[in-house]
Amino acid sequence: AQSVSQHNHHVILSEAASLELGCNYSYGGTVNLFWYVQYPGQHLQLLLKYFSGDPLVKGIKGFEAEFIKSKFSFNLRKPSVQWSDTAEYFCAVNAVGAGNMLTFGGGTRLMVKP
């Protein structure tokens, strides 16, 4: 069965700092990759997704992620965070051909200090 690891459980940054959240998965076949965000008191929302094509994917609110197949990674980045980016971030993987469910990482809780 596939698994997803998010290495950073808690990250604290000051506004304008750069962000990179790690995500690694274990599955040898084709994958669809997602980052979801959960703002305080809100439900999970899609931040960006990768199905195929350009491995550098741009999402909403200035976020981007890069799929590196050789490293089984899909790290999330943002050049300059804002206080409003305070949230929990989840990486998720769908193993193509092994069901339509998503396998989620444990999440990274980001706090941005104003």
Under the binding rule (CB under 8 A), the answer on residue 55 touching another protein is: no
45 part of the interface to another protein, by CB under 8 A: yes
Cα separation values, 33 from 39, 48, 105, Å: 20, 9, 11
Residue of 56, 101, 111, 113 that binds another protein (CB under 8 A) = 101
The yes or no reply on residue 11 touching another protein (CB under 8 A) is: no
59 binds another protein (CB under 8 A): no
How far is the CA of 107 from the CAs of 30, 77, 85, 114, in angstroms? Answer: 22, 15, 14, 22
37, 24 in Cβ contact below 8 A? no
Q: State in angstroms the smallest separation of the CB of 104 from another protein.
A: 3
Taking CB under 8 A as the rule, does residue 106 contact another protein?
yes
Using CB under 8 A as the binding criterion, the count of chain residues that bind another protein stands at 21
CA angle, 68 then 27 then 53, to 5°: 40
Q: Which residues bind another protein (CB under 8 A)?
A: 4, 6, 34, 36, 42-46, 49, 90, 92, 99-107
